[in-house]
Structure 1
């Protein structure tokens, strides 16, 4: 893995190129170059992807009726599909302040970058175009999907640049939020894309759910929730009194006491379950990965 843990370097992301054929991947039978010749169909078959919705016409397959749009508009609509060639893959990567944490091995942000790089390399290997949206508390970068290694290299360079910006960002006012970037992503993603959301979803709320539902109507969306072990449970230790400050407010409390650890674990579990519930409400499948375990040991959890 060759990582420093808190910082991100290009070589460690290039390293994931050798994992592009890990179990669970499939190489596209369609060559990466040459997208011409795509044809539209009124029914979905093998190797077809959604293209658009239009008004129902005589002869359309009733199995292709989009009942959601039909109910909303009061007029019958049919889904059209096209032969699947290069599917655009968008990888949204969160480097906000809550992601810049790790009690062992890696920061959550660094692990997220590793996941993003691995997905990018595998997507290019399948013949898909790779792009994404990367953001920290101060800036965001939009990476247009490109084919083959060119798309991956452009994307992982942006990962390294954005992560360094995140580490350099001080206590200036936050100008980028999860909700802002989910809405930005919704505008960027075209119909029929494969979308990965890499975050701890610390800022997830009901507004996020609405955006995610809209995003997932015509796209395949998966959430990968990054978590650190200390966010689940405090380490066992001898009792020690510590103080913590939040702005002008300072509080002293004991660590190592069973009552403290149990209360912490209970609240952490509630917080984690709330995030899962919100993602479930958005109808987004979610996979949880730890920042304390090397990615190759967790890769099958994603089900690539």
Structure 2
């Protein structure tokens, strides 16, 4: 489903709430570049609310005993026994320990789902557009912090894999990939063109992730089912993971009051109608997916933040912590 258009009410955001240079449906490089002015929102959330909620969990940018190996030297009293190099110790007959270099440029990988299930928006933005704006906002923040940025942008018809790069080179490559893949024709039948694109993307993400990385995954609750979260959980063995689920109030409305719904299907150029039974099934499927994502994320000890495509990111800054 691409876009749902229920009747407008007074509570629905207006054109003034759209991102600067954006229309909520298409995506341009200009509007993603404009997100640079909002990076302070992430910084303030990261320094305040998130730090209080995640005491002891946040990995410092300067890690001390980082993930990059430096050298081996003789063991000294006070050294962490976990860093003992047992091979050198056995070979020399004397205890030796590994030293690690401080990791000052942390690799940050953004995995963004732009698949057909993200092409829905009942009020302000398509979920795919909000996902791209969230990735851009986090990207500007990460770049300003001095970390390297890369990642994976994907949908049914293709993907862009970006190795982490420093300064703005990595960010600009990320923004251009978001626009290119979002603009690509995504109306073809997913069953014939990569219905398993998300599972493949998560496997590629595992190969791309290096020890000590921060991995940010942006999708909607349908992308956080049990098999997906099992794959994501494997990343936690050597990386820090953050999940962002983009939602839409349409499904809550349909759960309370199911009825015929005007929609535009991804494989047709003209709008159609989803009957009462179909809209009720859609709402139940979404609500179940949302509950499962929350429960499974908690089970795997993964940090999950929920955002909506119906409000500007500026009003949801408290959920934008890393």
TM-score between both structures, scaled by the size of structure 1: 0.75
Q: Does 1:108 align with 2:127?
A: yes
Q: C-alpha displacement at 1:217, in angstroms?
A: 1.5
Cα gap change, 1:238 to 1:270, in 2 (>3 Å)? closer
2:250 equivalent in structure 1: 230
Distance 1:243 1:294 in 2: 23
Cα gap change, 1:125 to 1:157, in 2 (>3 Å)? same
2:45 equivalent in structure 1: 24
Give the counterpart of 1:287 among 305, 308, 312. 305
1:10 equivalent in structure 2: 29
Cα gap change, 1:4 to 1:45, in 2 (>3 Å)? closer
Q: Does 1:153 align with 2:172?
A: yes
Distance 2:228 2:258 in 1: 41
2:204 equivalent in structure 1: 184
Question: 2:131 touches 2:219 (CA, 8 Å); kept in 1?
Answer: yes
Q: C-alpha displacement at 1:178, in angstroms?
A: 1.5
User: Secondary structure of the equivalent of 2:149?
Assistant: strand
1:41 equivalent in structure 2: none
Question: 1:51 touches 1:80 (CA, 8 Å); kept in 2?
Answer: no
Structural RMSD (CA): 3.6
Higher relative contact order (CA 8 A, sep 6+): 2
Distance 2:36 2:262 in 1: 44
Distance 1:181 1:238 in 2: 34
- Counting only pairs closer than 5 Å after superposition, residues 77-92 of structure 1 correspond to structure 2 as 81-92=100-111
Question: 1:233 touches 1:264 (CA, 8 Å); kept in 2?
Answer: no
2:240 equivalent in structure 1: 220
Distance 2:292 2:178 in 1: 28
Cα gap change, 1:219 to 1:243, in 2 (>3 Å)? closer
Distance 2:160 2:254 in 1: 35
